[in-house]
Structure 1
Amino acid sequence: MKIKQIYDKALAHGSYAIESNGQIALVDPGRDPQPYLDFAQEHNARIVAIFETHPHADFASSHLEFQQKHGADIYVNPKVGVTYDYKPLEHNDEVKIGGVTIKALFTPGHSPDHNSYLLIDEEGKEKAVFTGDSLFVGDVGRPDLREGAGNIKVNKKELAGMMYDTLNSVFNELEEDVVVYPAHGAGSLCGKNMSDDLYSTIGREKRENWAFQLKEKDRFIDSYLEGQSFIPKYFPYEVELNRKGLEPLEESLKKVPYLSNTDALEKGVVIVDVRDQARFKAGHIEGAINIPNSNDNDKFETWLGSIVGPEEQFYLVGDSKAELDNAVRRAAKIGYETNIKGAALLPKDNLAKDEPLDLQDFRQHPDQFTIVDIRNTSEVADGKFFKDAINIPLPELRERADEINGNKPIVVHCAGGYRSAAGASILAKQLKNKVYDLSEAINEFK
């Protein structure tokens, strides 16, 4: 038996491939099938089963592609209410894959239709549990994503009670040496206090995870509900997308139009410039939103789906075909490739330029600027960097820009400089004020 964790750092998403006797089961696979196909080829094995813990809100799954193109069976809790062919698994139901057994554990709390999957090896020993978004390393999955999405909609307080029961009547009963393999790590918005570690054990979680320490149900519920982060615009859409299943990746990518130039861009359609901040400031299309796609640390997918709604079409622009290809593929990881109206290379001339902020003048006369703090509400709760700053979180900025009044020039900041590029470009498009991006210089003011 072999287990491989396939980790997508940009989405903080962990999926798993389990091989036994030439057969492979996948747990919560991401949109791109290639890493799993590579694993199958490496072990001369065949992918025969996909185990979905629940319809994920933060990434698009390839489960339907593996069913349609490779004949794999999809296993999921029947409460999910999917529209594709599947094999239902309820609490304690078992499936044999090669020489191992995968046992479903009903673990609601993050969602009301959530299964975890207990792996029992060839000798009958419980080896690992794939916990999806129920149990993380150091945390548990947030309970507020299914109030308005999915086949079953449940209020967050009721889900919080379910999570308490899951911890104490399901996970607490497992052997302490059972390895915990979650669907997410630090940086995911599906929890609030995740460890940087990508796996753990039941024993360690019982000792160290805050959720196991709160023995009184009411106290657990109160603590669980407080301090959750914002919900990106695309999360409810993603739940429905995964309940239906997506078109195979490569076939869908071929439908994305590539335009010969930007002259054909339709007015009124959102333009997303995927270049880094320096290149954007040196020259960009007037009104474009800068969401940099530079590396796996930039969370391009999350911010694209937080700023641009799932009902909106948008253009992608960049400096090279390779840059655009990468951005299109990353958009597809959240199922947004169908929203791309076109991808185009930027022209060399007639571009708008951003004037740099005079930092010395800003330090000496901060009162002469309107300072906009676009960090999340939970971040600002720990304190502002500027006493009189207006806090409007980035995901809400397009809708709330008119709350910024007055004739002063605007300085936009976040926590480290990445988000402020998007924020400044949004306000520059929507307001008449002069807008400056404080960018990484924010670190001098903390």
Structure 2
Amino acid sequence: MKIEQIYTGCLAQGAYYIESKGEVAIIDPLRETQQYVEKANHENAKIKYIFETHFHADFVSGHIDLAKKTGATIVFGPGAETSYETYIAKDNEVFKLGDITIKVLHTPGHTLESSTFLLIDENGKDHAIFSGDTLFLGDVGRPDLAIKSDLTKEDLAAMLYDSLRNKIMPLADDVIVYPAHGAGSACGKNLSKETVGVLGEQKKTNYALRANMTKDEFVKEVLDGIPPPPQYFAKNAMMNKSGYDSFETVLKRGNTPLDVDEFEAIANQEGALVLDVRHEDDFVKEHIPNSVFIGIDGAFAPWVGALITDLKQPILLVTPKGREEETVTRLSRVGYDNTLGYLKGGFDSWKKAGKDIDVLDSISPDDFVHKTNTNDLNILDVRKSGEHQSMYLNLKGVKNFPLDFINDNLHVIDKTKTYYIHCAGGYRSVIAASILKARGFYNLVNIEGGFDELKKTGVQMSDFVCPSTL
């Protein structure tokens, strides 16, 4: 028996490769599926099953493409309905894979069809659970993402309580827990940085598995502090339910080099968004006018999903050299399949062609603090509200303006005013500034290095809740 976790940090997502006696099961595969095919071929094995723990909201799974390539059966838990061929398992149904068995435990709560897959080894012993978003290390899945359900989030949270206590907690303490996500995922609120654990440890440390916890207490605690889900979650879940273009088609279309004139013509004629994924420092120094920055080396895919509201938005890319295919791939993981190509030769080719160039005004933390001594400034802190409330600049004119909700809050700022923008380290503030400039806010100044560098200046801070928080 072989179990391999294939973890993708950008999405904080774990897919799983399970093999026994030449038969393979893949659990929650990523959009790009050739990696699983090659792994199975290398082991002279055949992919027999593709198990989906639920309709994922935070990424587009590769189950449909993988089934077409391999002939494997896609398996969902009870209640799932799809527009493509699948096998809908019954609760407690078992599937043979070589010498081992995979048992379906229907664990609704995160979503109605959510299921946990229990791996029983060749000796008949419960070995591991692949818990999807039902159970994380340190947390459980948020119960507010069901597609078109008449149930409330309170109803689903109550279901999750029953699922955990009736299906998961009775299992032995030494059962290994393989969750779908780790820290950084928006599918929970307190996920551990660890990506593999054991059930006994979760029974001791996970707040949601606390002994003697009532259902009412569970519902209240699970729902407390959950922010609204990113706008792309429901759209990704529907793609996973209804189907999508093949990854190879998306990649071929997006991984197309365009010379400067072609690039500019498409941007002007088709209303394509120019997405610059270089490092934020490069964008600050020079960029294509009206382009939007979301750097490939940050939490790229989740920020794209949170900020670009139309999955079908035509996109043109400005990338670091050699990272064109990677960028198209990572966009496709969250359902942005309409990339039309990339700027051949990168930003340098734009400069050499003599095209217009824009810059983002910036200021050092020391110069900013010096300016606050003699001026009242308008300051936008684009960190999350929890970050802001834990510590913020104790200066007149500070407003928490979370990047997550920038598209909803443009009305609260004034195009005639100058704003100084900071985040924690400089990545999110440049994203925010680029979006604002593209929307006609031109009087913007980025504070270099963000809050981390501002703290070193000795400027006055506060850890009380700021009354100007949106």
Task: Tell me if both proteins adopt one fold, taking TM over 0.5 as the criterion.
Answer: yes
* Correspondence list, 1:413-428, <5 A: 413-428=422-437
Deviation (angstroms), 1:364: 2.7
Residue identity opposite 1:374 in structure 2: V
Match of 1:232 in 2: 230
Match of 2:215 in 1: 217
Q: 1:436 to 1:88 in 2, by over 3 A?
A: same
Alignment partner of 1:102: what SS?
strand
Alignment partner of 1:170: what SS?
helix
| Inter-partner Cα distance in structure 1 for 2:413 and 2:221 | 34
CA contact (8 A) 2:363 2:448 kept: no
Equivalent pairs counted in the alignment come to 439
| Inter-partner Cα distance in structure 2 for 1:62 and 1:245 | 10
Contiguous gaps of at least 5 residues in structure 1: none
Deviation (angstroms), 1:356: 2.4
CA contact (8 A) 2:307 2:404 kept: yes
Match of 2:384 in 1: 376
CA contact (8 A) 1:271 1:288 kept: yes
CA contact (8 A) 1:61 1:246 kept: no
| Inter-partner Cα distance in structure 2 for 1:361 and 1:368 | 14
Does residue 53 (structure 1) correspond to residue 53 (structure 2)? The answer is yes
| Inter-partner Cα distance in structure 2 for 1:211 and 1:285 | 48
Contiguous gaps of at least 5 residues in structure 2: 456-470
CA contact (8 A) 2:368 2:447 kept: no
* Correspondence list, 1:15-164, <5 A: 15-146=15-146, 150=147, 152-164=149-161
CA contact (8 A) 1:80 1:151 kept: no
| Residues 191-247 of structure 1, C-alpha deviations (whole Å, 9 max, x = no match) | 111111111111111111111116121111111101123422211100000012333
Match of 1:330 in 2: 330
| Inter-partner Cα distance in structure 1 for 2:448 and 2:224 | 30
Does residue 191 (structure 1) correspond to residue 194 (structure 2)? The answer is no
Does residue 430 (structure 1) correspond to residue 439 (structure 2)? The answer is yes
Deviation (angstroms), 1:445: 2.8
Alignment partner of 1:24: what SS?
strand
Match of 2:268 in 1: 266
Residue identity opposite 1:412 in structure 2: I
| Inter-partner Cα distance in structure 1 for 2:435 and 2:131 | 38
1:385 to 362, 387, 393: 393
Residue identity opposite 1:343 in structure 2: Y
1:401 to 404, 410, 415: 410
Alpha-carbon RMSD: 1.9
Deviation (angstroms), 1:166: 1.3
CA contact (8 A) 1:369 1:408 kept: no
Deviation (angstroms), 1:258: 4.0
Alignment partner of 2:324: what SS?
helix
| Inter-partner Cα distance in structure 2 for 1:311 and 1:335 | 6
| Inter-partner Cα distance in structure 2 for 1:331 and 1:394 | 19
Alignment partner of 1:336: what SS?
coil
CA contact (8 A) 2:272 2:315 kept: yes
Deviation (angstroms), 1:70: 0.7
Q: TM-score, normalised by structure 2?
A: 0.89
| Inter-partner Cα distance in structure 1 for 2:448 and 2:112 | 41
* Correspondence list, 1:310-349, <5 A: 310-319=310-319, 322-337=322-337, 339-345=338-344, 346=347, 347-348=350-351, 349=354
Q: 1:269 to 1:153 in 2, by over 3 A?
A: farther
CA contact (8 A) 2:380 2:421 kept: yes
CA contact (8 A) 1:368 1:408 kept: no
Residue identity opposite 1:40 in structure 2: A
| Residues 36-71 of structure 1, C-alpha deviations (whole Å, 9 max, x = no match) | 223212321111100001010111111111211110
Match of 1:280 in 2: 283
| Inter-partner Cα distance in structure 2 for 1:195 and 1:31 | 24
Residue identity opposite 1:440 in structure 2: G
Alignment partner of 1:445: what SS?
helix
Q: 1:432 to 1:173 in 2, by over 3 A?
A: closer
Alignment partner of 1:218: what SS?
helix
Q: TM-score, normalised by structure 1?
A: 0.93
Alignment partner of 1:240: what SS?
helix
CA contact (8 A) 1:164 1:217 kept: yes
CA contact (8 A) 1:80 1:113 kept: yes
Alignment partner of 1:163: what SS?
helix
Stretch of structure 1 that moved more, 314-323 or 161-170: 314-323
Alignment partner of 1:421: what SS?
helix
Match of 2:463 in 1: none
